[in-house]
């Protein structure tokens, strides 16, 4: 497997991985990240092409509190988390 990391622009940054399995065609996976390092999109290019796009909602301390993944098949995965802050 070989990885490429975009070092010219960090918003979003991109990672590309290429790999093959025994007796299978090559698969390329592309990951894109926002300025906080959260994955905002991934896609597979090859025999079984797929993709997902992710949208984050942040609190006042810039921690993500909601993560929505929009999948290629029309489904949406929703993740929520809460933080308690003390002063």
Contact between 48 and 28 under an 8 Å Cβ cutoff? The reply is no
Domain residue extents for the chain: 2-80
pLDDT confidence of 20, banded at 50, 70, 90? low
The overall pTM is greater than 0.75? no
pLDDT digits (tens, 9 = 90+) for 34-59: 888 888 888 877 666 778 889 999 99
Contact between 28 and 45 under an 8 Å Cβ cutoff? The reply is yes
Task: Give residue 35's pLDDT.
Answer: 82
């Amino acid at each position: 497997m070989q990885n490429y990391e975009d070092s010219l622009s960090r918003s979003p940054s991109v990672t590309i991985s290429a790999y093959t399995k025994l007796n299978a065609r090559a698969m390329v996976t592309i990951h894109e990240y926002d300025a906080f390092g959260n994955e905002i999109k991934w896609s597979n290019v090859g025999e079984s092409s797929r993709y997902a796009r992710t949208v984050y909602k942040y609190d006042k301390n810039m921690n993500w509190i909601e993560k929505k993944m929009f999948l290629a098949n029309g489904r949406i995965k929703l993740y929520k988390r809460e933080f308690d802050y003390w002063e």
